[in-house]
Copies of this chain bind each other. A is one copy, B any other.
Amino acid sequence: MVFTINYTTSENQTMKSDIEIAREIALKPIGKIAQHIGLPEDELMPYGKYKAKVPYQLINADDSKACLILVTAITPTKAGIGKTTTSVGLALGLEKLGKKTVVALREPSLGPCFGMKGGAAGGGYAQVLPMEDINLHFTGDFHAITSAHNMISALLDNYQFQHRNTDQQLKQILWKRVLDVNDRSLRQITTGLGGSGNGVVAESGFDITPASEIMAILCLANDLDDLRARLERIILGYTYDNAPFTVKDLGVSGAITVLLKDAIHPNLVQTTEHTASFIHGGPFANIAHGCNSVVATKISLTFGDYVITEAGFGADLGAEKFFNIKCRQAGLQPKATVIVVTSQALKLHGGVDKSDISKPHLEGLKTGLANLEKHIANVQGFGQSVVIGFNQYGFDTDEEMDYMRQWSEERGATFAINNGFIKGGEGATPLAQAVIDTIEKNPSKPLQLTYENEDSIETKIEKVATKIYGAKEVSLGKKAHTMLKRIKKFGLEHLPICIAKTQYSFSDDAKALGVPKDFVFSVEDMVINAGAGFIVVIAGNIMRMPGLPKAPQAQNIDLVNGDIVGLS
């Protein structure tokens, strides 16, 4: 977590690091965690003593009375917001208030963990554990996806090699390769060099594993049959007749399904206070939909009364896709949405200099609230009841918080202070109570999606860009127009859209903080993810393979007397 470094509590004491806190917790055997939510222990597929896969076949969520709660955030800034920490903290708080709670989250990627971030499993006293395992290989899901993806790549290149100089050879290959590592050198490569025995020379490249279409597929599949059907539909390239060439055409959908037969089952772990937690899947939140798997959410709804889940980046990206893609495909109806906010992030949106955000600054904060206001209106536009989860820092003043409380109420949202990071469930009960009250007294309406399946792709883009982002209009580039024709030709206009844009602004300009207005939203290209079941709409340069910084986190990660250090 970003904001654990030099974090000081409201009592001005320096906190222990995430991994120090994690190590102090005496974990319960995973069978006990299962028992607590009424999940039969003998159904578990254990991975060590504290992790287990749970067969997705146990899902029975269709007539579930469980309350699904989405945690999202304002537009992220460099300061970090603590969304995962809030999701976990809220679960702890609900459990403290006697509610049977399950939290469903994404799996972290190894790349950023060894690059910049050093882990992503919540923070402070609101973590999912064992955090070392979750941040490393966990139960092997990412590795299975990497294998499946690259197996297709190898089989596809072999197809090209075996059919070289015939009319069966493909004109264009779209499918690249993936690795779960930050490696800028692999973004663009030439393969097949060294002579004719080494295949056909081709331009290729590696994305990071969370950017694999297979990751998105695993996270949207309802079951193994659905997974297989989606894999079959992946478009790998085009023939000389401009017909799509799919995994089905390659004849290997069975083999690829076999590689994912374990990865499809959700992973059960526990929080710092032994709340059940399903951590499963981790698709990018720009070129994919950025939520944990449908099966993890549904199995949580099967066994929990309150289920917390989260969506990547700010609500304009994460929540929009959660509603318009995941809820649409999986038939989910969230009962409330929590928008996470910190005073630091609000001040940055309000134009306060980075050096001043750790001091009181009511005026800057007031200006920054415009960003939150737009997110509240957007989320309410989906029919959702909104709770503001304010992550408190030691420097926040009563005056600031009182102001935000009244301001929120004026906009029909409940304001709640969260201290889950420093106090665990005890610190999150005000937020938990606010969520319970909201669901009981002012529940969300049935989801009002931004667009209909029947809308044209242009209309879908226009609706999201104008309604959610606040754009004046949409402009489509040449490549995007070509792709539009192709999408129509292939009869894929009914698919939802997944807009890939910067997470740092409502617009397609990362530097436009706050609430940009009157901007033209420029779409450059589109990608058909026929397997995942959405059209990726690309606005701006989207990073699919991060690089490493000058001093990578890997230099700090170590094993000291059997304990891991450097993960947080």
Q: A137-B147, A162-B550, A552-B155 given as contacts; is B193 within 8 A of A188 (CB)?
A: yes
Q: Is A200 touching B185 in the complex (CB atoms < 8 A)?
A: yes
Judged by a CB distance under 8 angstroms, whether A49 is at the interface is yes
CB contacts under 8 Å to B, within A171-191, are 179-191
The 3 A-B pairs at the shortest CB distance, nearest first, are namely: A254-B558, A188-B194, A143-B143
Judged by a CB distance under 8 angstroms, whether A158 is at the interface is yes
Judged by a CB distance under 8 angstroms, whether A504 is at the interface is no
- Bound together, the chains give a CA A137 to CA B261 distance in angstroms of 10
Name the distance in Å between A224's Cβ and chain B's nearest Cβ. Answer: 7
In the complex, chain B residues whose CB is within 8 Å of the CB of A559:
224, 228, 254, 257-258, 261
Name the distance in Å between A530's Cβ and chain B's nearest Cβ. Answer: 21
Judged by a CB distance under 8 angstroms, whether A56 is at the interface is no
Name the distance in Å between A534's Cβ and chain B's nearest Cβ. Answer: 25
Q: Is B198 touching A191 in the complex (CB atoms < 8 A)?
A: no
- Bound together, the chains give a CA A566 to CA B185 distance in angstroms of 37
Looking at A40-48, A60-68, A425-433, A521-529, the stretch in contact with chain B turns out to be A40-48
B45, B146, B150, B205: the one within 8 Å of A183 (CB): B150
B49, B146, B548: the one within 8 Å of A155 (CB): B548
In the complex, chain B residues whose CB is within 8 Å of the CB of A254:
557-559, 566
B143, B147, B198, B251: the one within 8 Å of A187 (CB): B198
Of A53, A137, A204, A555, most B-chain CB atoms within 10 Å? A137
Q: Is B114 touching A255 in the complex (CB atoms < 8 A)?
A: yes
- Bound together, the chains give a CA A566 to CA B183 distance in angstroms of 35
Q: Is B186 touching A155 in the complex (CB atoms < 8 A)?
A: no
Name the distance in Å between A34's Cβ and chain B's nearest Cβ. Answer: 14
- Bound together, the chains give a CA A47 to CA B51 distance in angstroms of 9
In the complex, chain B residues whose CB is within 8 Å of the CB of A520:
none
Judged by a CB distance under 8 angstroms, whether A136 is at the interface is yes
Q: Is A154 touching B202 in the complex (CB atoms < 8 A)?
A: no
What sequence of 0s and 1s flags, for each residue 381-413 of chain A, a beta carbon within 8 Å of any chain B beta carbon? 000000000000000000000000000000000
In the complex, chain B residues whose CB is within 8 Å of the CB of A46:
46-49
B179, B187, B554: the one within 8 Å of A150 (CB): B179
- Of chain B, the residue at the smallest CB distance from A163 is B550
Q: A137-B262, A558-B258, A559-B224 given as contacts; is B157 within 8 A of A185 (CB)?
A: yes
What sequence of 0s and 1s flags, for each residue 143-169 of chain A, a beta carbon within 8 Å of any chain B beta carbon? 110110011011101100110000000
B47, B157, B189: the one within 8 Å of A191 (CB): B189
Q: Is A255 touching B150 in the complex (CB atoms < 8 A)?
A: no
In the complex, chain B residues whose CB is within 8 Å of the CB of A110:
147, 151
Q: Is B255 touching A558 in the complex (CB atoms < 8 A)?
A: yes
What sequence of 0s and 1s flags, for each residue 188-216 of chain A, a beta carbon within 8 Å of any chain B beta carbon? 11111110011110101100000000000
13 interchain pairs, CB-CB under 8 A = A46-B47, A114-B151, A137-B140, A137-B259, A154-B182, A155-B548, A157-B183, A158-B183, A161-B185, A185-B200, A186-B191, A187-B198, A228-B559
Given A110-B151, A252-B557, 4 more A-B residue pairs with CB atoms under 8 Å apart are A46-B46, A47-B47, A143-B146, A153-B183
Q: Is A147 touching B190 in the complex (CB atoms < 8 A)?
A: no
Q: Is A554 touching B151 in the complex (CB atoms < 8 A)?
A: yes
Q: Is B192 touching A255 in the complex (CB atoms < 8 A)?
A: no
- Bound together, the chains give a CA A258 to CA B179 distance in angstroms of 18
Name the distance in Å between A329's Cβ and chain B's nearest Cβ. Answer: 23
